[in-house]
Structure formats: structure tokens, C-alpha cells
Amino acid sequence: MVLDKKTGATEHRVFSDLTEILMPGDSLILNDTRVLPARIYGEKISTGAVVEFLLLKQLSASQWECIVKPGKKAREGAAFDFSGIMQGTITQVLETGNRIIDFSFEGNFFELLEKIGYMPIPPYIKEKLEDNERYQTVYSKHLGSAAAPTAGLHFTKQMLQALEQKGINIGYVTLHVGLGTFRPVKADNIEEHVMHSEHYRVPEETAALINATKAKGGRIIAVGTTSCRTLETAADESGKLQASEGESKIFIYPGYRFKCIDALITNFHLPESTLIMLVSALAGRENVLRAYETAVREEYRFFSFGDAMFIV
């Protein structure tokens, strides 16, 4: 779906039409994070009980913040064995219910994780993922996400080549997606909602590309809310970027003034999520509500492997 953010008008296209819709001189900015095989299963050493761990954020060489299921079997001090390849001990239970686990292992942690981990595909997808690359973008590069930047899953290598041949610039940022992205906003006053922190990086060449594109009057098109949040975090008030790296906790909701991006490619999101609020900030709440009503009526697919919306 193509949504005009000024008029609210919608148009139904197929994704490959982007090569016709985008204009030479536009810059498409993609998030090149790679998803960790972050779901692992540990056997509690004292009882043999099996507990699921979902790794969220690396805190040190051996420590991770994680979600556990069932939580009652993973109290502070509990020790676990992971397929005989590594061990781990719960060192802290956080107020959120998340755990800090300290692993002991020999060798490269991420190589070991490849042997024992499973892709953290969303729970509403019941079919087993036979090929882990199905949950990676074709341009994924930097390992660190707990979920895929799903707007990017629509792209093929051939399509990216076709876009470049037309004169559309391709740039990359990195934002390691945390599961907090998908948590609903429960606060009555949205300004009281506490955003999660996610690590981001804007390389020198991408900052230079964006600044040059803006100077020439081209558009900046963010692929996914993760790319959007990265650019809006890193941009100064005039929309210019410098190479930077850090933590982003930006919360974009209606009333926000966008500094950097002009357009957004995104999937269809859950109500009450920070993602739908970001989309509404860009396109207007009423326009988005009407577009979503149209999407439901036309049987668009929602969520991770669903259809896309291009907000222009």
C-alpha cells in the first residue's frame, strides 16, 4: 500500500513497483543488523528442568539480559547447562522480570550460539523455520538483534541492484532490535511510557550520503521503523548527520517533528504499539486509521512476514 501522508490517499501496488515509484537522487536507508539465534534451551543442573532463554542484550563478554520461560525455574543463583557446550548462572532478577545470566564457555560465544540457538521468530508463526536466512534481510551484516528489521525482508539482492541502476542511492545504518520495540504502551499518558534502549551506529559514508542527498533536494526514505529511529536519533535539529554510535531511546509519537526522514517503508503494526505511534506521527493518526481500515478490508497481511506500506 502507498499512503500519501498529506492527503491520506491510498494506492495498491506490488513491492517491486518501488523501482518505478522511487526517483533518481532518492536515498534508501537500510538497517543491516543480523538476528542472533537467540532462543536457547538450558537444563537446570539441580533438577534437570528445561528452561527457554531468549537473549536480549549483551552486557559484557559473558553476561546477557534475557527473558526466561518458565520464570519460577530460573531464580537468582540457578545454574544451567546448554547442550554440554556452555553453562550459565542467573545472577540477577530485574524488576521487569528479565534475568541477567552469566555464561561460562570456551571459544567464541557467537560460534557456540550458532550450534545451539534457534531463531527468535514471532510466537504467532507456528511453522518451524527450516532455513535461518528466511528471518534475515539479504543485506544483514552486523550480528546483534533479538528480532529482524522486518520491513527489509521484502527486498531481494536483484531488486536492490535494480534500484541502484535507476540512480537510487543505498545507505546502511545499524540498530540492534530489542523485543521492547513490540511491547504495547500501557501508560495512560504516553509521555510516561519508558522506551527500551537499543544500540545504533551511523557510519561516516551513510552520514555523508544523507547530507549530500538533502543538499541536492533528494528524499531520505527509511526502510523500517528501526532505520527511522536511528536517523532521527543521530540527526541534529537541521536534519544533518555525523558519524555516530550509541544508545537510542527515542520515542516518536504524534506531535513529533521529523528532522531527517521524508518517507518510510514499514509493515502493518499492532494497535497500542510504539510502532503504530511512529507511523501516525509521520502520516497523521486519521490517515493511518483509514489506511488500516482499507488494509483489513482488502485482506492485507499484518506483522513480521506481512505486507508493506510506503508512506510518502
pLDDT tens digits, 246-257: 999 999 999 999
Asked whether the predicted pLDDT for residue 258 surpasses 70, the reply is yes
* Mean pLDDT, the chain, integer: 93
Decide if 64 contacts 109 (C-beta within 8 A).
Answer: no
Is the link from the previous residue into 70 a cis peptide, with omega within 30 of 0? yes
Decide if 209 contacts 243 (C-beta within 8 A).
Answer: no
Can you state the percent helix, strand and coil of the chain, rounding each to 5?
Answer: 30, 30, 45
Asked whether the predicted pLDDT for residue 301 surpasses 60, the reply is yes
150-203 tens-digit pLDDT: 999 999 999 999 999 999 999 999 999 986 554 555 556 656 556 678 999 999
Among candidate residues 35, 295, 27, the one with its CA nearest the CA of residue 143: 35
pLDDT number for residue 57: 86
Residue 303 DSSP one-character state: S
- Find where cell 529482524 sits: 148
Asked whether the predicted pLDDT for residue 220 surpasses 60, the reply is yes
84-135 tens-digit pLDDT: 999 999 999 999 899 999 999 999 999 999 999 999 888 778 777 788 899 9
pLDDT number for residue 219: 98
pLDDT number for residue 190: 57
pLDDT number for residue 192: 59
Provide the percentage of residues in the chain whose pLDDT is more than 90. 83
pLDDT number for residue 271: 82
Decide if 66 contacts 117 (C-beta within 8 A).
Answer: no
Q: How far are the Cα atoms of 8, 31, 243 from residue 239, in angstroms, in the given order?
A: 25, 19, 13
62-88 tens-digit pLDDT: 999 999 999 999 999 999 999 999 999
Where residue 11 falls among pLDDT bands split at 50, 70, 90?
very high
pLDDT number for residue 186: 57
pLDDT number for residue 158: 97
User: How far is residue 241's CA from residue 165's CA, in Å, rounded to a whole number?
Assistant: 26
pLDDT number for residue 194: 60
Neighbours of 76 (CB within 10 A): 11
269-282 tens-digit pLDDT: 888 788 999 999 99
pLDDT: is 124 or 18 the higher one? 18
Residue 181 DSSP one-character state: G
pLDDT number for residue 193: 54
Question: Could you tell me the three cell numbers for 93?
Answer: 532478577
Among candidate residues 62, 138, 73, 71, the one with its CA nearest the CA of residue 103: 62
- C-alpha torsion sign, points 8, 11, 15, 17: negative
Asked whether the predicted pLDDT for residue 54 surpasses 60, the reply is yes
pTM for the whole structure: 0.89
Angle at 269 between CA 132 and CA 67, to 5 degrees: 55
Decide if 307 contacts 268 (C-beta within 8 A).
Answer: yes
Q: Which amino acid is at 29?
A: I
